[in-house]
Amino acid sequence: MNAKDQQDIRAVMSAATDLWVAHDMEGWGRYFTEDADFVAHSGLWWTSRDDNVEGHLDVPESVVRQKRNYTQRVEAIAEIAPGVALVHTRWDWPDHVQAGAQPEDRSGIISYVVVEHDGRWLIRSAHNTRVS
């Protein structure tokens, strides 16, 4: 995988993270293929971009306000085949509060499969795992 592809993938991950933090789920969804799979840390499995976006819209406003604390960084990018890459990210969400619970520092790893589609990289699959 060449340096430009890696740079483009990092840019996709950065932009998608910024949109997620802003809770612009429609914008965030544009970084996924139409048939994208997303497995949430809770075990929910969405099998299309539309279901993924809708599922991520269904969160309480109290959680949306907390997204400003969320960060995600690319840890590794590996080419699987021409136009296909595996990306691992680590995320941190300090002071996350669920209704009726004490604040907790959350963190996790997301494994992404990204594909080159019409000259741009899109997320085809994501699997989010909490580690804390």
102 pLDDT band (50/70/90 cuts)? Answer: confident
Between strands 84-96 and 104-117, the pairing is antiparallel
29-66 per-position pLDDT tens digit:
999 999 999 999 989 999 999 999 999 888 888 788 88
The residues pairing with 106 across neighbouring beta strands, listed in sequence order, are: 93
Contact call for residues 47 and 53 (beta carbons, < 8 A): no
Domains of the chain, with CATH numbers? 3-130 (3.10.450.50)
Q: Cα(30)–Cα(25) distance, rounded to whole angstroms?
A: 9
CB–CB of 59/25 below 8 Å? no
Taken as a whole, the chain contains a residue count of 132
In the structure encoding, which two tokens stand for residue 47, read together? Answer: 């099998």
Question: For the whole prediction, is pTM greater than 0.85?
Answer: yes
